[in-house]
Structure 1
Amino acid sequence: MKVLIVEDESPAANKLKQMLLRYSNEMEMVANLSSVQETVAWLSSHPAPDLIMMDIQIDDGLCFEIFKEVKVLSPVIFTTAYDQYAIRAFEVHSIDYLLKPFSYEKLEISLNKLMDIQQNRQELKPSPVNMDQLMEALEGQKQRFKSRFLVKAGTKIRSVKSSEIAYIYTDRKLNLLVTGEGDRYPVDQSLDELSQLLDPQDFFRANRQLIIHIDAVKVIHPYFKGRVKLEITPSLDQEIIISSERTPSFKAWLDQ
């Protein structure tokens, strides 16, 4: 089975590949794309894969823009932080949706569903897309992003508003939440989980070790090979480099 992966987070894409190969060593990953533009270009110039694993929110926008630009003939399994109500508004060759973070067992159920459809020679018929309904449903998700976190401050527990967070970073396997005032608190969630809980309009996953709030970005320096180097506030005692692949989406995020 030829599988196209549309996912802009490398760790998530690699984990998904491992899960697919665990399901069957006959799975062939034909490409791993990270943006709407890349995916439209690929689908326009390659035969339709047997399956597309597609994240909803990718580098340069929402994946739904892909379906407006090119006819998608392959079955799709969405991987997403959005809930079922948003997904129900958009059914184009959709087999299933998986809420992040998802387990191998959840993926296995979705793949079994696809296999049953194929074995019974059922045809996946695309439904009309109501883009206004879709965008309204997705806008409703904005209120579901986490608004505050409970953190330990010595022997006490404090509630920190998401708007107070300057950044969250990993230091020697410990994830630390840093406020605009410079206070630091350990958090239990992984950065992958936190990136799904925080509003992407305000927060950006700079790299594997850092999620930053838009107001924490102080200075941007051009760096080697299309990358950029950041100064943030409060200051962080480590180099902050945005990769050349993520720099365009980072600049677009800042310029929203």
Structure 2
Amino acid sequence: MMQVLIIEDEPLAAEKLIKFLFTYDATIVICDTLASVETAVPWLKTNPLPDLILLDIHLADGLCFDIFKQVEVKCPVIFCTAYDQYALKAFQLHSIDYLLKPIQYAKLEQSLNKMKDMQYIKKPEVSNQQIEDIINLMKNQDSSYKSRFLVKLGTKIRTIKISEIAYFHSHDKLNLLVTKEGDRYPVDYSLDDLIQLLDPTLFFHINRKLIIHIDAVKEIHAYFKGRLKLILDPKLDEELIVSSQKTPLFKTWLDQ
């Protein structure tokens, strides 16, 4: 009976992983689902290690690699990432497995089979050197962030540079690119995929429905219980609140 810990800040992505795991093996036990470095570190320090961790690279309060700086993780880890095959070379070199987003069941099944096979040879673990290698290689891939998007409206097709974008917004089951001029275009990416493709120094994933460009923040107001209220330009026709959990990370992002 395999025990699995899921560390993923997107609830829908976590639910999808759980569904896939139960499809693979109905006896699998989900130890917990966590969404941040802040919650993962104390959990790993105070609970028995699971048989496997499914770990998203980008969490609510930073990169998952900060977990390994604070706690020793001596169990198999499968990383979930949207980085391309070149950046994933470090994972392959160190026999650490990964799932490329958007995650497909067949790929998860392949990874789980691989991890089970490796258990009979040598228990795969993650070392500090492996993590440093992965971070360094990923830093060298910063140029892979998208510089423009191809959009279509009716019969017209145009390219929009990153510098022209104010935010990405989910509305009525559509994901929209909104320009600084207020123009709106549907895009064929989920917000979860978009945040992996965008430069994190320029864009911030506020909530499940919104990713904003740093220049789109017009006003910031203190709100109840340590939260923040934002006014964007162009204006968003709904109240925009930064959660107390994300407020420290948001302030750090603004002050970089």
Alignment check: 8 A CA contact 1:203 1:212 kept = yes
The residue aligned with 1:109 is: 110
> Using the alignment, how far apart are the partners of 1:96 and 1:61 within structure 2?
21
Name the structure 2 match of 1:42: 43
Partner of 2:178: 178
Instruction: Tell me the alpha carbon deviations over residues 81-117 of structure 1, each in whole angstroms, 9 at most, x when there is no partner.
Output: 2234444436898541111111111111111112223
Deviates further, 169-178 or 93-102: 93-102
SS in structure 1 of the partner of residue 115 of structure 2 = helix
- Hey, what does 1:99 align to over in structure 2? 100
Distance between the aligned counterparts of 2:73 and 2:88, measured in 1?
17
CA RMSD, 1 decimal: 2.3
Q: Structure 1's 88 and 68: CA in aligned 2 closer, same or farther, altered over 3 A?
A: farther
Unmatched 5+ residue regions in structure 2? none
User: Is 1:166–1:213's contact at 8 Å kept on the other side of the alignment?
Assistant: yes
2:76, 2:125 within 8 Å by CA — same for their partners in 1?
A: no
Specify the code of the residue in structure 2 equivalent to 1:250: F
- Answer with 243-252 or 209-218: which moved more: 243-252
Residues in 1 aligned to 2:162 and 2:50: alpha-carbon distance in whole angstroms: 40
- Structure 2 distance, partners of 1:29, 1:77, is 15
Structure 2 distance, partners of 1:201, 1:80, is: 18
Equivalent residues in 2 for 1:19-58, closer than 5 Å: 19-58=20-59
TM superposition shift of 1:194? 1.8
How far is the alpha carbon of 1:131 from its aligned partner?
6.2
Q: CA deviation at 1:154?
A: 4.1
SS of equivalent residue, structure 1 residue 17: helix
Taking structure 1 as the reference length, the TM-score comes to 0.89
Paired positions, count: 255
Bigger shift: 199-208 or 56-65?
56-65
Residues 1-256 of structure 1: pairs in structure 2 closer than 5 A: 1-89=2-90, 95-118=96-119, 120=120, 122-124=122-124, 129=129, 133-256=133-256
Distance in 1 separating the partners of 2:63 and 2:193: 19
How many Å separate the matches in 2 of 1:18 and 1:159?
37
Matched-pair identity in %: 58
Distance 1:174 1:91, change over 3 A: closer
Unaligned runs of 5+ in 1: none
Indicate the structure whose relative CO is greater, using CA pairs within 8 Å and at least 6 residues apart: 2
Q: Which amino acid in 2 is paired with 1:214?
A: I
Answer whether contact 1:8 1:34 (CA < 8 A) is retained: yes
Maintained 8 Å contact 2:44/2:71: yes
CA distance in 2, matches of 1:132, 1:70: 15
